[in-house]
Structures are given as structure tokens and as C-alpha cells.
Amino acid sequence: MGLKRFIQQRIRRKSQVYLRPTIEGWWWMGTLLVLMLMGWGYTNNLCLALGMLLSAVTVVLLMEAHFNLDGMRLNVLLVEDQHQGHAAPWRLWWQAKRSRARHKLFLQWDGEGPAGEFSVPAKTEGEAHGAWEFSKRGVWRNTHVVLTSTYPLGLFRAWSYHKLPSEAWVYPQQVSGSVPNRFWDEGIGQTRAFESHSGDEPGEFRRYQESDSPTRIAWKAMARGLPPHSKTFVEEKSQRAFYQWPWGNGDENARSRLAYMIEQHYRGQESWALQIHGQTLPPDSGPLHRQKSLRALTEDNG
């Protein structure tokens, strides 16, 4: 075990706050040292007094940088799946020992990875939002995150490690293009009904929602004393595409085109099937089927 790895494991055991000067901070302290030496060497009381005043300001900045992270505890981190080249939103639940505002906080993936900026109000617990941009496709798994800050003036960097297991799925980048496919054998000639705002065929009744159009409200049912309901209309979709992966060389561009086609079927409420690495996903549609398909396409070994 290397010395650097041993030190990293030791400092991750507790959520302590660590401080070090930034590049600007080193220049600041160097200038302050020269100012103090000039005041001492040339017996310049004004220069010496200014140096002492700026030294006191430096101590205050160190305390502010420390208290900006002190007492912060990170509980849960959820990262949404996203395509490569797009920011992946995350949500963080946190707690604090003292109720004070925290400014310019950066939540960073442990090691090499993205960082997202956020601030928290003067509360003892709450939720924070941000986004990360991952550099490559794949499944990103992590055990610790790093909370950093350069508040208030960027002269000192404060950071602390938090044990927060998290996972992020980065789907292949979407690239439009042709993809070899055929219709699913069992789906030829069959149709499925989807709820649609532009459909003409009457469907069923469901509870009224605020976003429903007044023209869809079942007024006759309300006249009979029933709770507000809305009429639904359905649209028939018959396409059931079937894709096999890999095909050809199975390069990254082909993977990106297949991810694009899956998203197109999902937006059009069309069903599709996928056979990948010996596993077959039967024809279906919806967000869960989209997630299963894209996650299977993301992993290199299925």
C-alpha cells in the first residue's frame, strides 16, 4: 500500500474539515510576509501595522472557510441516469449541527470526476440540487464524496470526506443514423392502445387532474354527484421494432445510434424489443423499459 493511499484512507474515517491555501492564498501570504519584513527591517510603523491588520484578516478568513463546512453531514445522494454529453442531475439530503448559511459548496466525486456547485440556507437540514457532467459512458460507482469550498475570497480551500455510496449510469451519447432492425415476429399485425392527447378513440374514465382540459371533464358524471373525472382518448400504435446487439463491429458510434432509436421509440410511445449479450428484453414501452434497455446497452458485458 502506497503512502498516499494510506493517508487517504486515514483521513476518510471522519468527516473532519481540512484547510490549505490556494495559489492565490500562497501569493497573499507571501506578500504579507514581505510586508511584515519591510516594516520590521525599515522600522516603518505604518507598514508593520498594516501587516498585522492583514494578518488578523487572514485568521478571520481561515475561520470562515472552516465554519463554512464544519458540522455538515451528507445523508443520501441520488444521481439520475443521463446520456453522455448531458449533465446528470443529482439530489442531496444534508444535515448541519448549526443553523447557518453555507456558500459556494462543491460536491465532487471522490478521485477523478465531476463537481457541482450549490449553496444551503440557514437551516439544520434540507435538500440540495446540482448536476454532474461525466466524461465517458459507463456505470460510475463511488463510496465517498468530497465536499469542498473556497469561500469567502478564494484564498483557502476547505474540504471534507463523506462516506456516501452512490451510483450513476451514463448512457451512450445519442447519434442519429440508421440501425438494422426488424419487426418483432409476434407483433406483426397487432396494435396497442396508448393514452394520447390527440387520439380520437374514446378510452376510459380516470380521476380529474389539474392539467386536464375542461373539455375532457365528465360533466354528466359530476351531475350525478360523482367526484370529478376526465375522459381519456387512446391512439393505436402498431410498430414493434426488434434490435440485436452487437451488430457489425459494435463500435461506439453504433451503440450511440441504437441509443438514439430507443429514445425515439420512447418519445413516440412505440414498443420495441432488444436482444443484447444473450439477454432478450421482450417488446414493451414506457420509462421502465427504456431504463432497462439503455442500461443493458451501457454495460460492455451486458
Question: What pLDDT does residue 66 have?
Answer: 92
Entry pTM: 0.68
Question: What pLDDT does residue 24 have?
Answer: 93
Helix (H, G, I), strand (E, B) or coil at 23: helix
Backbone phi and psi for residue 122, each to the nearest 5 degrees, phi listed first: -80, 75
Q: Are residues 182 and 296 in the same domain?
A: yes
Q: Own/partner pairs for 206-214, CB < 8 Å, 24+ apart?
A: 206/230, 206/232
Q: Are residues 196 and 94 in the same domain?
A: no
Write down the mean pLDDT value for the chain.
79
Q: Are residues 65 and 89 in the same domain?
A: yes
Q: Are residues 23 and 107 in the same domain?
A: yes
**Residue at 3 is within a domain:** no
Question: What pLDDT does residue 26 have?
Answer: 94
Q: Are residues 178 and 52 in the same domain?
A: no
Q: Which residues contact 188 (CB under 8 A, 6 or more apart)?
A: 240
Q: Which of 12-21, 152-161, 199-208 has the highest mean pLDDT?
A: 152-161
The cell numbers describing 48, all together, are 508593520
Q: Whose grid coordinates read 465536499?
A: 147
Residue type, 14: K
Q: Are residues 36 and 141 in the same domain?
A: yes
Q: Are residues 34 and 85 in the same domain?
A: yes
Question: What pLDDT does residue 263 have?
Answer: 92
**Residue at 94 is within a domain:** yes
| Average of per-residue pLDDT across 39-67 | 88
For the chain, the first-to-last Cα distance in angstroms comes to 33
| Average of per-residue pLDDT across 163-187 | 80
Q: Are residues 125 and 151 in the same domain?
A: yes
Q: Are residues 212 and 268 in the same domain?
A: no
Name the residue with higher pLDDT: 288 or 196.
288
Q: Are residues 54 and 154 in the same domain?
A: yes
Question: What pLDDT does residue 302 have?
Answer: 45
Q: Are residues 218 and 70 in the same domain?
A: no
Residue where one domain finishes, among candidates 143, 171, 199: 171
Name the residue with higher pLDDT: 129 or 1.
129
In tens, the pLDDT along 235-260 reads 555 457 888 888 767 688 888 999 99
* pLDDT greater than 80 at residue 203: no
| Domain assignment of residue 299, given as a range | 172-188+240-302
